[in-house]
């Protein structure tokens, strides 16, 4: 049974081949990890390789695949090449891939909830509850990601103390109020680690199971620290 219009096939083949470029870029776990990292802030190849546990050459190749799919862009700055997410629509798209996977794969929900249950922190605070508590003044919001990620975009009102510096900078946090820590997102453990540290020292602390992407996807603005100020 031939298709209705035979001359249609070349168009469809060409068009869907273009669409598949996006799919192919998303087909590797490591590339998805790199993409989510780049949703937090621009990074050099070397940083990305370390963060995603890849060799530099391998990271470079993955990044070039992402760039060929126009999901990220590269810019040479002096000695380093800085990669960043291509456009905010890509950020939203990456977020939606995660949401879709969480909605449809019980395996994913199990893997993460079991991991966090085994550690300490149970479910974590959702993004809406987070907003409510901060608005109501019930909690202080703590951003434990690396400083450059905070600078590139953080939830308004959040304090920045990167996880490795937390123990030495406890003085900056209020003693009595509840602290809600957040990090890159649901697959990131930094907020849970921060909560463990804080509770051990007698703080009231909880973790958010959401990150800046969830915040942004609600249509809410992030605060950005303009670079270049000393």
Partner DNA sequence: CCCGTATTCAATTAATCTATTGAATACTAG
Partner DNA sequence: CTAGTATTCAATAGATTAATTGAATACGGG
Q: For binding to a copy of itself (CB under 8 A), which residues are involved?
A: 1, 3-5, 7-9, 11-33, 50-51, 53, 70-71, 86-87, 89-90, 93, 96-98, 100-101, 103-105, 107-108, 111-112, 115, 163-164, 186-190, 193
Q: How far apart are CA 204 and CA 148, in angstroms?
A: 27
Cβ contact 210:196 at 8 Å:
no
C-beta of 19 vs 79, nearer to a copy of itself:
19
Contact partner, 62, from DNA, a copy of itself, none, Cβ < 5-8 Å per class = DNA
Active site residue 188: no
Query: What residues have CB less than 8 Å from 22, skipping those under 6 apart?
Result: 69, 71
Cβ contact 207:181 at 8 Å:
yes
Q: How far apart are CA 201 and CA 12, in angstroms?
A: 62
Contact partner, 65, from a copy of itself, DNA, none, Cβ < 5-8 Å per class = DNA
Catalytic residue among 38, 183, 210, 212: 183
Cβ contact 112:123 at 8 Å:
no
Among 8, 16, 28, 115, binds DNA (CB under 7 A): 28
Minimum CB separation from a copy of itself for residue 28, in Å? Answer: 6
Minimum CB separation from DNA for residue 154, in Å? Answer: 24
Site for DNA in 58-87 (CB under 7 A): 58, 60-65, 74, 76, 78-81
C-beta of 74 vs 134, nearer to DNA:
74
Q: How far apart are CA 155 and CA 211, in angstroms?
A: 9
Cβ contact 184:149 at 8 Å:
yes
* Helices (H) then strands (E): counts for the chain: 10, 7
Tokens describing residue 92: 């939203």
* Contact footprint for DNA (CB under 7 A): 24, 27-28, 30-31, 44-46, 54-58, 60-65, 74, 76, 78-81
As annotated, the active-site residues are 183
């Amino acid at each position: 049974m031939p298709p209705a219009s035979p001359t249609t096939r070349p168009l469809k083949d060409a068009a869907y081949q273009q669409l598949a470029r996006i799919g192919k870029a998303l087909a590797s776990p490591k590339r998805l990890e790199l993409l989510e990292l780049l949703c937090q802030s621009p990074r050099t190849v070397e940083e990305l390789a370390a963060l995603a546990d890849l060799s530099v050459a391998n990271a470079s190749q993955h990044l070039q695949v992402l760039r060929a799919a126009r999901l990220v862009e590269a810019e040479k700055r002096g000695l380093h090449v800085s990669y960043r997410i291509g456009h905010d629509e890509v950020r939203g798209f990456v977020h939606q891939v995660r949401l879709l996977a969480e909605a449809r794969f019980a395996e994913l929900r199990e893997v993460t909830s079991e991991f966090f249950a085994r550690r300490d922190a149970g479910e974590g605070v959702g993004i809406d509850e987070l907003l409510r508590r901060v608005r109501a003044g019930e909690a202080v919001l703590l951003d434990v990601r690396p400083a450059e990620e905070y600078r590139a975009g953080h939830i308004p009102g959040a304090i920045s103390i990167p996880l490795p510096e937390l123990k030495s900078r406890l003085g900056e946090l209020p003693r009595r109020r509840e602290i809600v820590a957040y990090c890159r997102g649901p697959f990131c453990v930094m907020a849970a680690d921060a909560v463990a540290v804080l509770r051990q020292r007698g703080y009231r602390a909880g973790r958010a199971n959401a990150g800046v992407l969830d915040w942004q996807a609600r249509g809410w603005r992030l605060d950005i620290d303009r670079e270049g100020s000393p």
